[in-house]
Amino acid sequence: MERVLLTGGAGFIGSHLAERLLRGGLDVVVVDNLDPYYDVRLKRKNLMAVEDAARADGSGDYTYVDGDVTDLEGLRAIAQKHRPDIIYHEAAQAGVRASVEDPFKPNRVNVEGTLNVLVVARDTGVKRLVNASSSSVYGTVEYLPFDEHHPTKPVSPYGVSKLAAEQYCRVFCEIYGLPTISLRYFTVYGPRMRPDLAVPRFTKRLLAGQAPVIFGDGEQTRDYTYIADIVEANVALLDPQLELEGQSINVGSSSRISINQLLDVLLGLTDTEVEAVYQARAVGDARDTWAAIDEAERLIGYTPSTTLEQGLGRFLEWFRGDPEAQELTL
């Protein structure tokens, strides 16, 4: 049975991926330092969901380790003890706006941390490494939708850090023969998502009858991708027949919607009528994102199956049923 080491497993995407892998019968070692970028109570709730998955019939073995990707020797000790076959690297310092305020932390976590994970993977004979990247690597738009040949010109320190991490993954594949791939996620949403993002923030205010705040004119567009589709893209990479050659591929919904349109959908789902408040556009935010997913379809058979209305409906059902998540949303 394959053993997976999953960094950042207490986070939004990482915890959903851990659940899916455990229910698929794989042994999973989650490494996370519970960084308080947002309220740690939410991360602990994520880990509780992972623990529940581990208790289900047919699930693999689950181990949680308090560890930090910026600690090379600590990572090395974890890998030597658990001997993973595959590493899913989800740990990161997220947040475009946070990176503008403090560019050093995303560099330390996303660049140096990824380098540490790669070194450990190389030295312990890991079969493959899947790196979580971001559409933020594209930045300035030259054409839409973004395909993998689109120039990468990030507009935030966060985007720069994710691009650098991708390049390290490519180089480790080319120089050391470590099979790697980077998945460029496009605006992932769903239950347990980060509390500082538009969907939970809008929803919280709508349910309270308050005006949501939109930064900019609201005509900026995003490719919203439901969490289950992101998870299945990762799971597809368990196939040992796939040849991973350091490439980077888009994982999105292949459609886009403006922030104003997103709010309209949420207004309909919550049956509310509230006018938005508009504030100055945030520095570092990309104007548009939109994924071309032909390469993901060709390489891993990726086909997103969740519409925005379906995904937002599932998010809303979860959000309404979790008062603590509502309270801790910013």
3-state secondary structure at position 284: coil
Domain count for the chain: 1
Q: What is the pLDDT of residues 38-60, one digit of tens each?
A: 999 999 999 999 999 999 999 99
Instruction: State the average pLDDT over residues 86-114.
Output: 97
Distance between CA atoms of 125 and 84, rounded to whole angstroms?
9
CB-based burial label for 233 (10 Å; 0-12, 13-18, 19+): buried
Calpha distance 179→121 (Å, rounded): 10
Choosing from 62, 158, 168, 189, the catalytic residue is 158
d(CA 94, CA 101): 12
Task: Let me know if residue 197 belongs to a domain.
Answer: no
- Asked whether residue 142 is domain-assigned, the answer is yes
Is 89 a residue whose pLDDT tops 90? Answer: yes
Name the residue range of residue 21's domain. 3-188+227-254+291-305
pLDDT of residue 284: 87
Tell me whether residue 28 is in a domain. yes
Tell me phi and psi for residue 134, to 5 degrees.
Answer: -150, 150
Q: What is the pTM of this model?
A: 0.98
DSSP H or E segment with residue 298: helix 294-300
Domain-located, residue 41? yes
Flag whether 236 is in a domain. Answer: yes
CATH number, position 164? 3.40.50.720
Q: Do residues 13 and 33 touch, judged by C-beta distance below 8 A?
A: no
Q: pLDDT, tens digit, for every residue of 291-316?
A: 999 999 999 999 999 999 999 999 99
Position 128 in a domain: yes
Asked whether residue 172 is domain-assigned, the answer is yes
Active site residue 62: no
